[in-house]
Amino acid sequence: MKNKFYVTTPIYYPSGRFHIGTAYTTVLADSMKRYHKLKGEDTYMLTGTDEHGQKIEEKAKEAGQTPKEYVDKMAKMAKELWAKMNIQYDDYIQTTEERHEKIVQKIFEIFLEKGDIYKGEYEGLYCVPCETYFTQSQLVEGKCPDCGREVIPMKEEAYFFNMKKYVDRLLAYYDEHPDFIKPAFRKTEMIKNFIEPGLEDLCITRTSFDWGIKVPSDPKHVIYVWLDALTNYLTALGYLSDDDALFQKYWPADLQIVGKDIARFHLIYWPIFLMALDLPLPKTILVHNWIMMKDGKMSKSKGNVIYPETLIDRYGLDATRYFLLREMPVAQDGFFSPEAFIERYNFDLCNDLSNLLNRTVSMVNKYFEGIVPTYNGTPNEADKELEEYSEKQIVEFENKLNEYEIANSLQEIWNLISRTNKYIDETMPWALSKEEETEKLKSVMYHLIENLRKIAILIKPFMNDTADNILRQIGVKEANLQNWESLKIYDKNGGQKVIEKGEPIFMRLNAEEEVEFIKQAMKGN
Ligand code: ME8
């Protein structure tokens, strides 16, 4: 049976345009999906929007719309952005869809019947934008520890989920499954900050607002947005519905990607809900840090927000995706600055990648009239060294990617690009041509084309169109020379390939002008 790969992003809170930080999770999930697909696995990717709660109710009112009109408009906007970013999701779930609401109600009743949910009274300090209650000791300088805004005292009759019952099982699970939480320090953080101080039972209903899924047996209660939202990963697959074929096939998820601010919900409550349903837990939950600006978080009031559309329209999708993935260490915050973006473009994409392609294609045209020379010889020292280096880099790349060190995995590809550029300088094809060293020259051209083919396959999950463009320019048409398996071989049928020189894939930018352009665009946001 083929391997399967189910990857999810958090479902987004529909509160406006997505900036490049929020787009990061989904670009990463899409890249992981494409990588597994390229390896021949049966993949499935889920994204969506988290559409209930008091904040949405208020936003819709401000916009003069019903909450449903408001969230549908937001979901449409999100889908347009994902189309522009070439995100290959298989399903988009809105938590206001019937397929989700019905099952959340079923899950609530199951918990109630099992005695995992009980009725009590909740009193606490509530952050409206985060829809979370906090205790006094969790506040930071008297304000919400997540968003820094004011909290208000609230009291209401509510249902609670008995988290304490599952704490020991959760800790044992953490212990026995080292791959469950990545990076590992997030596990320590959960234990130290939330479990050791004593995990509170979680209040899972509200009566203070209306916009949410009603408790079927007690409809003045609305199901708390986190129980509602988290279960989307199951309901989208048809869990507990008449047709649960997708659920049977894809659950448990192989990878769930979330930002650091929602780690607590995904690393503590989510696994406990799954345990209470007697369901297996996702194989890995990857928590990534944030993309920050030099002056801190992106925010409209600071005038430092950058939207993906601005970068895509001017520099192309692949440059935008590359920057996001390359600048984000995952376990630490990454930083956006106009200077860093243009530098990555000019150095990594233009100098390193685009030039390697241009130089190679021009030389095959010049020395062999555009036909990649057939090569059946024995590689000499320099060629052999290049072959071995390439093999090693592919292994390094996969090792890093499988540990979800995305930026480092891209670095390994760029090491291969640099090494291949260096190979041109070392072998000096122009001198070989003058000296009429035809066999050596053939070998150099052949190795360059083969390395470019490998580089194109390696970057394909992240930069699909650039990869296709490279493969077209170097004349690789056969599907079996574009798949992951073919990274293992040096294809001996060079003579079949005909170069199709095209435009350079990335052209050098005027750094000063472009930095200014991005700065102006940020001010305009
Ligand atoms: O959290 N850099 O939705 P959301 C990187 N609805 N990632 C960032 C970021 C930044 N600057 N800013 C935000 C929600 N994110 C809930 C999820 S899941 C059952 C419910 C990430 O739209 C953030 O960490 O506020 C989160 O993973 C995602 O964007 C969506 O955030």
pLDDT in tens, 403-447: 999 999 999 999 999 999 999 999 999 999 999 889 999 999 999
| CA atoms of 447 and 154, how far apart (whole Å) | 69
Burial 177-192 (b: 16+ CB within 10 A, else e): eeebbbbeebbebbbe
- In contact, 276 and 111? CB cutoff 8 Å: yes
Which pLDDT does position 469 carry in this prediction?
A: 96
- In contact, 480 and 508? CB cutoff 8 Å: no
Q: Is 336 in the pocket of ligand 1 (CB under 6 A)?
A: no
Of 7, 12, 22, the one to substitute when testing ligand 1's pocket (max ligand atoms within 8 A of C-beta) is 22
Q: Three-class SS of residue 30?
A: helix
Query: Which band of pLDDT confidence, cut at 50, 70 and 90, is reported for residue 299?
Result: confident
DSSP readout, 267-311?
IIIHHHHHHHTT-PPPSEEEEE--EEETTBS--GGGT----HHHH
Q: Is 50 in the pocket of ligand 1 (CB under 6 A)?
A: yes
Q: Is 230 in the pocket of ligand 1 (CB under 6 A)?
A: yes
Query: Which band of pLDDT confidence, cut at 50, 70 and 90, is reported for residue 134?
Result: confident
How do residues 4-22 score in pLDDT, each as one tens digit? Answer: 999 999 888 887 889 999 9
Rounded average pLDDT over 473-498: 85
Which pLDDT does position 164 carry in this prediction?
A: 95
- In contact, 181 and 267? CB cutoff 8 Å: yes
Of 17, 261, 304, 337, the one to substitute when testing ligand 1's pocket (max ligand atoms within 8 A of C-beta) is 261
Distance 22 CA to ligand 1 centre (A): 6
Residue type, 103: I
Q: Is 13 in the pocket of ligand 1 (CB under 6 A)?
A: yes
- In contact, 203 and 160? CB cutoff 8 Å: yes
Closest atom of ligand 1 relative to the 260 alpha carbon: 24
Distance 185 CA to ligand 1 centre (A): 20
How do residues 27-81 score in pLDDT, each as one tens digit? Answer: 999 999 999 999 999 999 999 999 999 889 989 999 999 999 999 999 999 999 9
User: End-to-end CA distance of the chain, in Å?
Assistant: 49
Is the pLDDT score of 343 beyond 60?
yes
Q: Kindly state the tokens that stand for 307.
A: 């939207």
* Residue corresponding to tokens 């790349």: 397
- Closest by alpha carbon to 345, among 325, 315, 324? 315
Is the pLDDT score of 467 beyond 70?
yes
| Domains observed in the chain | 4-306 (3.40.50.620), 310-498 (1.10.730.10)
Is the pLDDT score of 476 beyond 60?
yes
Residue nearest to atom 19 of ligand 1 (CA): 230
| CA atoms of 136 and 125, how far apart (whole Å) | 7
Is the pLDDT score of 494 beyond 80?
no
Rounded average pLDDT over 221-246: 96
